[in-house]
Amino acid sequence: MAEPILEVQSLCTHLPTKRGLVRAVDGVSFSVRPGEIVGVVGESGCGKSTLCFSLVRLLPDTAQHSGRILFRGEDLLAKSREEMRAIRGKDITMVLQNPMTALDPVYTVGNQLREILRFNADMTPGERTRRAIEMLRQVHIPSPEERLENYPHQMSGGMKQRVLTAMATGLKPGLLLADEPTTALDVTIQEQILGLFAEIRDRLGTAIILVTHDLGVVRRLCDRVLIMYAGRIIETGETEAIFQEPQHPYTRALLASIPKMGEERTRLQAIAGQIPDLTGLPPGCSFEPRCPRAMEICRTTYPPAFARGPGREARCWLHEEAGAT
Ligand SMILES: Nc1ncnc2c1ncn2[C@@H]1O[C@H](COP(=O)(O)OP(=O)(O)OP(=O)(O)O)[C@@H](O)[C@H]1O
Ligand code: SF4
Ligand SMILES: [Mg+2]
């Protein structure tokens, strides 16, 4: 099996606020191999975006990080601002939720594509234009020569997300972070963009971390899944294993919240209760106040990760007899 391209070890990202220290990412470990699509799932506010922004160090300077983020074997937490900027422009890229605001309204799409190339590759202006056209063609934008002259407002939301995907993948990154890339788009366009991601993975071998509320998308597209709750990964495993035999009561609750056939696709439906305040997590299992199977030990002691089969772990005391990893 290929070596991981990304290995995150005990990553914490704590954010000072007026209310106190928000433990948005709190001891997260996982790895991603080249060409793998890893889904990140969990309710709103559980730290998914903070995890992505931590990986590329795009949080305010006040953010406190600890742990290691090994990308191609090098710790990103030890990199300078300049080094991170270079990595972000080329080797680890992002596609975010809102294509409406992610493009600069005052420059044409062509200028924005050429700008990326200017920073990252040694090319003549003519070469940059040819390459920009090629980048648009790769994401199936019709008449790319004409589209280069468009301003963002002349494009639909789906078209803009294609342009952003072209920008994020045109330099063949090793890792693409996609944080709810299709939430703002209608269903048909969503499908096209997600199809594009799968194609990019197949063609370029790019690893993708895909944050999404849509468990149907996870099941179709992701090789593995990280289930996040209150800043921590509480279950991981291969996608089918997670869907067929969820091991953590929170994962079960999430899967039970999937809208049934015929119901309108929505964000995750509410699970009774709320996620805990990340400025003051209880000492025990953070899901305990909502968990139908909570026991005495759950109130006092945070569960370690218990092995639940090859590549599978769950942080839940129900699996204590199996032994911690
Ligand atoms: N810059 C920041 N400063 C302080 N707190 C922050 C900051 N960014 C995020 N948070 C807090 O960190 C926690 C995790 O937020 P995050 O945006 O990572 O969640 P999320 O899982 O991406 O949620 P959603 O599904 O709504 O996008 C929340 O409590 C949020 O209020
Ligand atoms: S550790 Fe206890 S409270 Fe937490 S999910 Fe498992 S059974 Fe529920
Ligand atoms: Mg988010």
Q: Which of 43, 50, 213, 271 to probe ligand 1 with, by most ligand atoms within 8 A of CB?
A: 50
Is residue 271 scored above 90 in pLDDT?
no
Q: Which residue has the tokens 């191609």?
A: 72
Q: Which of 109, 122, 201 has the alpha carbon at shortest distance from 148?
A: 109
Fold of 6-106+151-322: Rossmann fold (3.40.50)
Q: What is the pLDDT of residue 180?
A: 93
The pLDDT tens digits of the residues spanning 182-220 come to 888 888 888 888 999 999 999 999 999 999 989 999 999
pTM, 2 dp: 0.93
Q: Which of 261-265, 283-287, 318-322 has the lowest mean pLDDT?
A: 261-265
Q: Which of 115, 58, 64, 62 has the alpha carbon at shortest distance from 92?
A: 58
Which atom of ligand 2 lies closest to the CA of 291? 8
Q: What is the pLDDT of residue 12?
A: 98
Q: What is the pLDDT of residue 89?
A: 79
Whole-number CA gyration radius for the chain: 20
Residues framing ligand 2 (Cβ under 6 A): 248-249, 285, 287-288, 291, 293-295, 298, 303, 316-318
Q: What pLDDT band is residue 263 in, cutting at 50, 70 and 90?
A: low
Domain ranges of the chain: 6-106+151-322
Q: What is the pLDDT of residue 323?
A: 63
Which atom of ligand 1 lies closest to the CA of 228? 21
Q: What is the pLDDT of residue 24?
A: 98
Answer yes or no: is the C-beta of 170 below 6 A from any ligand 1 atom: no
AA letter at 283? P
Report residue 310 as tokens. Answer: 């090859």
Report the pLDDT averaged over residues 8-12. Answer: 98
Q: Which residue has the tokens 């759950």?
A: 298
Give residue 48 CA to ligand 1 midpoint distance, Å: 8
- Compute the distance between CA of residue 100 and CA of residue 112 in angstroms, rounded to an integer: 15
